A and B are shown apart, each in its own frame.
Chain A
Amino acid sequence: MAALTRRVRWPAWPSVVTVLAALVMPLAAALGVWGLGGGARAQEPVQPLVVDLSDHLVAITTAFSGTDVLLFGATDGPGDVVLVVRGPATRKVVRKKAQLGIIWANRDSVTYENVPAFYQVFSSRPLNDLAPRSVLSRLQIGTENLAFKKVDQSVTESFVPGFRAALVRLKQKEALYGLGTQPVTLLANRLFKADLHFPANVPTGAYSVEVYLIRDGDVVSGKITPLVVSKIGLGAEIYDMAQQQGYLYGLAAIVVAVVSGWLAAVVLRKN
């Protein structure tokens, strides 16, 4: 009986200390913050922005035909939430056709680097009501604020904006860039969620999901969450073999074709 009591009591003591400490520490921290006049905001125990995704991997399997990922999170109070989903940077050539005689042929081109393969903006309110242009431009929020890097051009400067607009428009046509913004649902000024849709033609690579908390036209807090879009299973193995062992892959493709052609001739003759 005594042994039992001791066994219970002994470990019980430190836990009481821990509990006390846990109660006192934030109090002390809060007092400290009070004392410093709110200068040490970063030490606040409550994070202004907490974000997570229902899945950090978009797996492209053989049956893949697009998927949705749920983004959810919480803020420490009222404010607007803006999300930017950004795919890996790529290099793109925008070509423009012109009439040569009676035939339409490619003539001028502008080459851009740093073009996100995928780009979507989500917002709880229209972007222009949330923050001034300078803020949106700095964070590259909205297709008009994307900082493409022009590396080559065959036209004079005055024609370049037409090519840039065409790049965005063609990406929107492929459903890889969003048309305007999509909604972020706010609940009780604390919780928020958004459905991120990835179409069947989503490019693979490392994505980032940027979340900004905006109050009175200022970004109060930001979080970046990684997201990977990757081929999985048989499709991934076929892709890897094609990339790494092209010769073997080519031979295998020919063998598959010859054998199936021969098999068909044999089977269909018997029928």
Chain B
Amino acid sequence: MQIYLPIAEMSVNVFVILGMGWGIGFLSGAFGVGGGFLMTPLLMFLGVAPPVAVGTGANQIVASSVTGVIAHTRRGNVDFKMGGVLLVGGLIGSSAGVFLFGLLQSLGQIDLAISLAYVLFLGAVGGLMAVESLQAMWRVRRKGGRSDATGAGRHGWIHGLPFKMRFRKSKLYISALLPLAVGFGVGVLTAIMGVGGGFIMVPVMIYLLGMPTQVVVGTSLFQIIFVTANTTFLQAAMNQTVDVVLALLLIVGGVVGAQSGARIGAKLRSEQLRILLALLVLAVCGKLAYDLVATPSDVFTLVVEAN
């Protein structure tokens, strides 16, 4: 069944889009990532223009994150205080990132910047997670006990920072500057890469902030709702690149997928969760890196430019 998308200006198969939404919703529910790092490349692969893919993807992630947060709140796995502090940094960062995006676009190198950012961050994050979770699994098997990534390995200078805050849910007493800076940095990247930033946020929360893994997923999703809502609004207002028809189809598929994902995610142990996410992140990274290095099938590309 074909449907015409009014903003993307193309005709697509309804079931392909519904299926894509389901798959990405599943990841969102299971791993606490928005799924934007898969959504944007997948939509572009279907032939959707990159700006429309970014804007519409953000809109869909708003919905799947809302569903995910509700599911996690019921289990008490959301640290709203931590999420709020991360969010303040995230909104400032994503707004700053929109300016950077415009600058790179005018230089004609936005495609390269996006690809390089993906390869760099997905590679680093995926590699670190894979190594760490494999070590954790090995430890678990040897000791027969359960390991949890705590803040044991953090540097001493972090505890010397001012504005200390208590985050009860996360069992942390750290400087508010830390989550603020993390939120800002991730916010900048999300604006450029057109994603919610969960795949960066989740490992940063585990390894840098030292939050318990169970709380990380719900808190990350909570933060992602607002950052992607901000991206949706800015993209719609400035570039008219949000296709609500496409977004709605993705949402319908996505909300169903997110629920199944949350159920599976609750059953898996945190090491297993992390190694699966790491493998997924590395796979996407590998594909993008290959595309950058491999000889393109056509060295020429065509870009529409407004008069």
Residue of A whose beta carbon sits closest to that of B234: A250
Residues of B within 8 A of A (CB-CB), count? 60
A60–B307 touching, CB < 8 Å = no
Residue from B4, B233, B300, B306 with most neighbouring chain A CB atoms (10 Å): B300
A90 to B304, CA, bound (A): 8
Residue of A whose beta carbon sits closest to that of B56: A253
B109–A105 touching, CB < 8 Å = yes
Partner of A200, one of B11, B65, B66, B74: B11
Q: List 27 A-B contacts (CB under 8 A).
A: A60-B4, A62-B4, A62-B245, A63-B4, A94-B303, A95-B108, A97-B296, A98-B299, A102-B293, A106-B108, A109-B108, A111-B305, A166-B302, A170-B301, A200-B2, A235-B4, A236-B6, A253-B244, A256-B244, A257-B60, A258-B63, A260-B63, A261-B63, A261-B66, A261-B251, A262-B67, A264-B255
Kindly provide the distance from the CB of B31 to the nearest chain A CB, expressed in whole angstroms. 17
B2–A171 touching, CB < 8 Å = no
A261–B255 touching, CB < 8 Å = yes
- Point out the residues of chain A lying under 8 angstroms from B242, CB to CB: 242, 249-250, 253
For B124-166 the 0/1 string (1 means CB < 8 A from A) is 0000000000000000000000000000000000000000000
- Point out the residues of chain A lying under 8 angstroms from B4, CB to CB: 60-65, 200, 235
A residues lining the B interface (CB < 8 Å): 60-66, 90-98, 102-106, 109, 111, 113, 163, 166-167, 169-171, 200-201, 203-204, 231, 234-236, 238-239, 242-243, 246-247, 249-254, 256-258, 260-265, 268-269
- Point out the residues of chain B lying under 8 angstroms from A171, CB to CB: 302
A106–B112 touching, CB < 8 Å = yes
B276 interface contact, C-beta 8 A = no
A62 to B306, CA, bound (A): 25
B301–A106 touching, CB < 8 Å = yes
**Cross-chain pair count, CB within 8 angstroms:** 189
The 4 A-B residue pairs with the shortest CB-CB distance in the complex, in nearest-first order: A261-B66, A250-B236, A264-B255, A200-B11
B residues lining the A interface (CB < 8 Å): 2-4, 6-7, 9-11, 59-60, 62-67, 70-71, 74, 108-109, 111-112, 116, 225, 229, 232-238, 240, 242, 244-245, 247-248, 251-252, 255-256, 258-259, 292-296, 298-307
A250 to B300, CA, bound (A): 34
Residue of A whose beta carbon sits closest to that of B303: A93
B109–A235 touching, CB < 8 Å = no
A249 to B68, CA, bound (A): 25
Contact residues of B: prevailing secondary structure: helix
A181 to B287, CA, bound (A): 39
- Point out the residues of chain A lying under 8 angstroms from B252, CB to CB: 260
B11–A249 touching, CB < 8 Å = no
B6–A238 touching, CB < 8 Å = yes
- Point out the residues of chain A lying under 8 angstroms from B256, CB to CB: 264, 268
Kindly provide the distance from the CB of B127 to the nearest chain A CB, expressed in whole angstroms. 19
Partner of B67, one of A60, A166, A261: A261
A52 to B292, CA, bound (A): 50
- Point out the residues of chain B lying under 8 angstroms from A111, CB to CB: 305
Given contact pairs A93-B302, A250-B236, A250-B242, a sample of 13 additional A-B residue pairs in the complex whose CB atoms are under 8 Å apart: A64-B11, A93-B303, A106-B111, A166-B302, A200-B4, A200-B11, A203-B9, A242-B6, A250-B237, A262-B67, A265-B70, A268-B67, A268-B255
Residue of B whose beta carbon sits closest to that of A100: B112
Partner of A239, one of B6, B71, B258, B304: B6
